[in-house]
Chains A and B, each alone.
Chain A
Amino acid sequence: MISYTFDFSFLLTTWPAFMRGAWQTILLAGSSIAFGFVLALVCAIIRSGKSKLAAGLVGAYVEVIRNTPLLVQIFIVYFGLPSLGLRLSAETAAVIALVINTGAYGSEIIRAGIDSIAKGQIEAAECLGLNKLQIYWHIVLIPAVERVYPALSSQFVLLMLSSSITSQISAQELTAEANMIQSETFRSFEVYLIVAAVYLALSVLFRVVLWAIGEVAFVRRRKLRT
């Protein structure tokens, strides 16, 4: 065994690059989460809706995405779409692939929430004279999302972590920055130890922020402590 001395001195000059990478990952994951949530919501509504055809199409989309690797999805969007005449920057392709991916996983989670709404709730709302739209919004959708919010949050944290894969199409984010630093300093092991620590910190940060968003968005949940 060769003796190895750890050397973290490269941090003195490269820490701004790590910070920049972390910020880019926050932007990439944050925008993917926001768009992905909207897509998931729309898909969940369609899937639990009345149109059999639309529900079937969304169901097929969900199954295809959930049973193929994110890496291959990213390759299809970034390398495949230009051959069909649609050229995208690496960052745009990364966001599109991540949004499509989260949309599928998120819609399954939200659908479970919609299914869990008791029929008595809807009947009670009808008795109170709420119209269809009001019932759907206040009695079905918001309580459904409220109920599955913890599961959604974990899914979003996983999305942030898997955004590291987009470094493979040289999208600007933390792992891509690390690859660059690694090739300049040759301290591969130390660089990825630091990166692991930064991702760990980011996952804690995302969990806290998502929890705070939940506290603000779901007032009833906060008050009832359920």
Chain B
Amino acid sequence: MIQFSSTHLIYLIEAARWTVLLSVLAFIGGGAFGLVLALGRVSQHKWLRWLSAAYIQIIQGTPLLVVLFLAYFGLSILGLDIEPIIAAGLSLTVYTAAFLGEIWRGCILSVPKTQWEASNCIGLSRAQQYRYVILPQAARIAIPPTVGFMVQIVKNTSITSIIGFVELARAGQIVNNSTFQPFITFVFVAIIYFAMCYPLSLASRHFERKLNVGK
């Protein structure tokens, strides 16, 4: 029987690179789409507000696993022979956008109303108001919860192991299949996840304190 060894540990750490890559993909894609959703939620057009609210409600009421299956099987229906990483990236983007959209909406709304009124008085257009007055202030408020949500993104990438994408969690299963030492294997997997997530948690808390000091 093969014992759990440093070779396995290196294999796990190498697989963790895919977890990082997938997290970055999800954050970029989900962030871009999430910003659109956040702006949609506070739009002046009723149907835009309604549409983005409906999207957020539906995605937040569906498990990520089911979103992942829909992306995986849905894309293959379109006749595309897809790699698991595309289905994984797409579903994480769709999922992340809904949560970041809702978080950022709160940040935009927490910018005082007087800022809107003042920038309106000096003749800025709606786009200029967002660009020069509202979003820079909202971004400052958004940093702690956004960094905090990155932890969720990293953890959620583990679910993509279910469609066979070899990232950290899947690598753990592969190692376990050859060593039959599930406890030590998955504890090491957990430690690697912790090493990625805990600094983000600490950073989020640090930014939050910094923000509160300024008040």
A196 to B186, Cβ gap below 8 A? no
Chain B residues near A69 (CB, 8 Å)?
155-156, 158-159, 169, 193
- Interface assignment of B161: CB less than 8 Å from any CB of chain A: yes
- Interface assignment of A168: CB less than 8 Å from any CB of chain B: yes
Q: How far is the CB of A123 from chain B (nearest CB, A)?
A: 26
Q: How far is the CB of A116 from chain B (nearest CB, A)?
A: 15
- Interface assignment of A212: CB less than 8 Å from any CB of chain B: no
Q: Name which of A9-17, A71-79, A137-145, A216-224 contacts chain B.
A: A71-79
A71 to B194, Cβ gap below 8 A? no
Chain A residues near B79 (CB, 8 Å)?
1-2
B169 to A68, Cβ gap below 8 A? no
Known contacts being A72-B169, A188-B69, is A66 close to B201, with CB within 8 Å? yes
Chain B interface residue count, CB cutoff 8 Å, equals 39
Dominant secondary structure of chain A at its interface with chain B: helix
In the bound complex, CA of A117 to CA of B62 (Å): 35
Chain A residues near B186 (CB, 8 Å)?
72, 75-76, 79-80
> In this complex, which of A82, A84, A167, A195 has the most chain B Cβ atoms within 10 angstroms of its Cβ?
A195
Q: Name which of B33-41, B82-90, B176-184 contacts chain A.
A: B176-184
Who on chain A is nearest to B155 by CB? A69
- Interface assignment of B197: CB less than 8 Å from any CB of chain A: yes
Chain A residues near B159 (CB, 8 Å)?
69, 71, 165
B70 to A193, Cβ gap below 8 A? yes
- Interface assignment of B162: CB less than 8 Å from any CB of chain A: yes
Chain A residues near B78 (CB, 8 Å)?
1-2, 4
Q: How far is the CB of B114 from chain A (nearest CB, A)?
A: 27
Q: Which one, B77, B172, B197, contacts A75 given CB within 8 A?
A: B172
- Interface assignment of A203: CB less than 8 Å from any CB of chain B: yes
| Residues of B bordering A, CB below 8 Å | 58, 60-67, 69-70, 73-74, 77-79, 151, 155-156, 158-159, 161-162, 169, 172-173, 176, 181-183, 186-187, 189-190, 193-194, 197-198, 201
